[in-house]
Amino acid sequence: MIHQHPFIRITASFALGIALGYYYPNGWIVVLCVIIAFSISLLQKFNRYHYNDHLCGLALCIACVAMGILTWITYPNPYSQELPKAGYYNAVLLQDAVEKPKTFQCIAHLTDTAGTQYKTILYIQKDSLAATLIEGSQIDLYLKGTQEQTFDYYNKKNIYSSAYVPTQHWHLTSQPDSTMFGAYAKRTKHHLLEVLQQHTDSSGYALTAAITLGQKSSLRGTTKQHFAASGASHLLAVSGLHVGIIFMAISLLLRPFKRYKNVQKWGQIIVILLLWMYAFLCGLPPSIIRAVTMFSIGALGIITGQQNYGINNVCFTAFIMLLYNPNYLLDMGFQLSFSAVIGILLYVNSQRSNFASKREQRQVYLTMPSESKIMSEANKVESQRSELLHRLFTWVKDMCGISLVAQLATLPLILYYFGTFPTYFLLTNLVMIPLGTLLVYACLLLFILSPTPLASWLEWPITFLTSSMQTVTQFISTMPGAQITNLHIGLFQAACMYALLFCLYRFYKHPMPQTLYPVLWSIIAGLVIW
């Protein structure tokens, strides 16, 4: 697999270097890695045996590790780790203000009178002016004091403090330029949110805004808890799943033109443009940018005739993003999204190989003698009757397989960050993914038809879908044992779990001797007991 997808070793080694740079930011490690890589290269040059390819690959991996460490060390980090003292600050919002019960929460870039920069979570007292704050807004404020932010997730993003800002202690100095591309995207997103608000009730609006555009500020805490306990919280975060839904819809529309090669290439260009348009409508959040970039690279692979290298494309995307900003490696969303995508691609590739074997059986049938074909055609009527059931079974199997693989691929990270596990995630996704897909399609159609009276026809379907999703998640979350809690694991345990999952996948692809099965089960039992 590594030889077929070379960017796996490159990206993995580069990510390992960034992790080493985070824990051990020492330039001597870079020098040592370079010396080792150079020595291995010399050894490979004078080696006359068949290990040359392995030595060359090892040298490349060590060089990528050095490159990752150097990228982390040299990446500029202007933020101070000290707590901001009481005084006056200029603040630039790094995200839209998120509505809370009594405040608006936002992450801001603070600069004091001496020029020292901080990254802080601000809780601004709720009023009409605070509701207008968006990414890029500049405010002048006075801080009476700050609180230390000890949550490791925020610390990895250089956020070490939080502060409450009452209304009388801040004033707005400027809003982002409306001519800027990002600001225009935000304004477009707000316009679409107004369209949803006009054609849905309050509960329906909160859910549709979260699922279609990633706006979760209006969601109630009970709704989030029901989705999390039932294993459907990924639907509330606009990510690769939503981009995949859009990609599937566009691909179905272009399927009649598949036999025309030139038209197919232009169709992939259309796919790329439409996906980036959807990202633009969502306000260009990082999760959508990651997903659209991966799908765009896949579409470019189809254009160039290299569509079978999905995992390599994903790893290449991750490498470019980490090279641009190594802090992405510490981002929980980055880790979860790429883990899920790689797991799904491995499952799809295995299913593709099974499909290829079935296709070979079909070719054998076509080469059968005519008498045998006639005998085989005798059951044609019965097979046509069962075709619908077969397709339904295949869909259920693929849906369960993808849900199971995505959950397993992200399980170590979920246990590391949250310590919870939704027991009925298979049942939930089997029902919720089709409902979520229909909801996304209905809302996109609503956006298109919003200037016309036909938009009112979509109000009932959207209301029905949102109420059904809320009912399903509430029912599953209240079932006995719906969520297992207090399963926190350490970083080393998470790494061991990923190593075990990789071994299981390799054993699935290449069966191991029966004598090794007791060893494998011993490892699994030891991990469970630990």
Q: Per-residue pLDDT tens, the chain, 530 aa: give them.
A: 555 567 788 888 899 988 888 888 777 888 888 888 777 777 766 655 555 566 777 788 888 888 988 888 888 777 877 888 888 999 988 877 877 878 888 888 899 888 888 889 999 988 888 888 877 888 999 988 888 877 777 777 788 888 999 988 898 888 776 555 666 666 777 788 888 888 888 778 888 888 887 777 677 778 888 888 888 887 777 776 677 777 777 776 776 666 666 666 777 788 888 888 878 777 666 677 777 877 777 777 666 666 555 677 788 888 888 888 888 888 887 888 788 878 777 777 666 555 444 544 444 444 545 444 444 444 555 555 566 666 667 666 766 777 777 778 888 888 888 888 888 887 888 888 888 888 888 888 888 888 888 888 888 888 899 899 889 889 988 888 888 888 788 877 888 888 778 777 777 666 655 555 555 556 555 555 55
Provide the 8-state DSSP code for 104: E
Residue whose token pair is 């490498």: 319
Residue 112 main-chain phi, psi, to 5 deg: -90, 180
Return d(Cα 448, Cα 277) in angstroms, integer: 13
The count of other CB atoms within 10 Å of the CB of residue 139 is 22
Check residue 368 and give its pLDDT: 46
In the three-class reduction of DSSP (H, G, I as helix; E, B as strand; rest coil), residue 527 is classed as helix
For position 75, what pLDDT does the model report? 85
State the pLDDT at residue 528: 55
- For the chain, first and last CA: distance in Å? 31
pTM summary value: 0.74
Q: Which alpha helices (H) appear in 325-379, and where do they start and end?
A: 332-366, 370-376
pLDDT at residue 373, as a whole number: 45
Q: Tell me the three-class secondary structure of 125-158, residue by residue.
A: ECCCCHHHCCCCCEEEEEECCCEECCCHHHHCCC
Q: For position 525, what pLDDT does the model report?
A: 58
CA atoms within a 13 Å half-sphere pointing along the CA-CB vector of 178 = 2
User: Tell me, what's the pLDDT at 283?
Assistant: 66
pLDDT given for residue 374 in this prediction = 46
Find out whether 240 and 313 touch, Cβ atoms under 8 Å.
Answer: no
Strand residues in 49-204 grouped as ranges (E) = 87-93, 98-99, 103-112, 117-125, 138-143, 147-148, 161-165, 170-174
CA distance 489 to 87: 40
As a whole number of angstroms, the distance between CA 108 and CA 459 comes to: 37
pLDDT at 181: 61
In Å, how far from its chain's centre is CA 347?
Answer: 17
